[in-house]
Amino acid sequence: PIPVEKSLGAPVVGGTVNGTGALTVTATSVGEDTKLSQIIRMVEAAQGAKLPVQDLVNRIALWFVPVVMGIAALTVLGWLILGPEPAVSHALVAGVAVLIIACPCAIGLATPSSIVVGTGRAAEMGVLFRQGDALQTLQTARTIAFDKTGTLTQGRPELTDLTTSPGFDRDDVFRLVASVEALSEHPVAQSIHRHATERGMALSPATGFSSLTGMGVTAEVEGRKILVGADRVMAQSGITLGALASTAQELANAGKTPLFAAIDGQIAAILAVSDPIRPDAPAAIAALKAQGLRVAMISGDTARTAQVIADRLGIDTVTAEVLPDGKIAALKQLQKEGPTAVVGDGINDAPALAAADIGIAIGAGTDIAIEAADVVSMSDDLSRVAVALDLSRRTMANIRQNLVWAFAYNILLIPVAAGLLYPFFGLLLSPVLAAAAMALSSVFVVSNALRLRWATADIASPRTAREIEVSQPAPAE
């Protein structure tokens, strides 16, 4: 989220936003050579490499039907050879009862009824399963890998710290700095101006404004010369940083971007901005870890910044400074330890979302990310990731319950229908009773699936307090 300085000959990605000044570029990659086209090809390749999930029920049904037909034929033949008179009547009753009792209605309903109810309930809770096999695949995930910028963080810089030098009033310094930054279009400047506006500060008009590309800004406010920028612009102006130099190092180690303010040639304050963690991220990460998952982060940001975010959120594995194709390589490393789900929101996340065992797009994300994902959160609430996983596990457990009932029902009652009890008790199952038992089996399966309509995910409420309160920054000693 922090702008990058570009100089003569530096590569510029299509879609780059130019902050100040004029920018002349030469198009070296067009059409199919553009980064977007490459990303699209990676998405298509990843999607094409996915194998369709083999349906367990279909595989069993492939053998179940002919086996039942064979059992029915053997039943009729056995009664004709060994049965008492009237043998033909007994044979037909027993054969028809076997066919009716073994009618695979419950087996056929076991999976689709749970899927329909489970996906419907998921939609009510803000989760959309875009592909049929996503519901089954998600519950196998062992690692959840997040993108950082815009997913775990808010994706825009915010003012986090302000420390003044001795002899300078904090509010006065901040008002002067904000008055200058109000004239700049730089995202860092906008974060300072936005914070001043939120505090209701009355800013003064600035004159002689000048933007020093890649270094800072300068202007005059109330007759005082204000200089705001990086340490190099202070060194260029002959301004010593003093004790604030060590403060700058501490802020940088915390993953923040420090900048200095000088008034009339004297260092007055150090400010810091960072991309703040989303308020709902801590609770979302905690909920996933409570479900026994390993949480990873894959980011194109610097390793230091990414590690700071990971430490605050309790993330287990961090891979930083990677490009879109590098995210796929990092993902493959994670997949060596088990099925991996990827959560992202941007264009750069699309290849990883498609290559993952399961891709989860945040609802506020780009269209290409949503199209590449298997699961979409219809809001930007990160807790929906844990909700999706919980519902996937519940639905698959429900399907297993239905299948166990359906097959156990057939295994137990087919011998009864064939006449197993007749030699001992003289009982032969009527086709009418077999039909009633078959119908009750289907009713049980559907009723069990409908229990998912009342499924609730026990996910902790996201925190709403900021990680760092910047309205009252502590003064420097």
Q: Which residues are catalytic?
A: 147
Q: Nearest to residue 133, comparing CAs of 117, 113, 119, 147?
A: 119
SS3 210: strand
Q: How far apart are CA 163 and CA 254, in angstroms?
A: 15
Note the helical H segments in 272-366: 281-290, 303-313, 324-335, 350-355
CB 178, CB 192: distance < 8 Å: yes
Q: Which amino acid is at 403?
A: L
Note the helical H segments in 256-301: 281-290
Q: Provide the angle, in degrees to the nearest 10, between the axes of the packed helices 87-101 and 383-418.
A: 180
CB 428, CB 393: distance < 8 Å: no
Cα of 118 vs its chain's centroid, Å? 19
Q: How far apart are CA 68 and CA 111, in angstroms?
A: 21
SS3 226: strand
DSSP 96-149: HHHHHHT-THHHHHHHHHHHHHHHHHHHHTTEEE-STTHHHHHTT--EEEEEII
Q: 171 — alpha (psi -120 to 50), left (phi > 0) or beta?
A: alpha
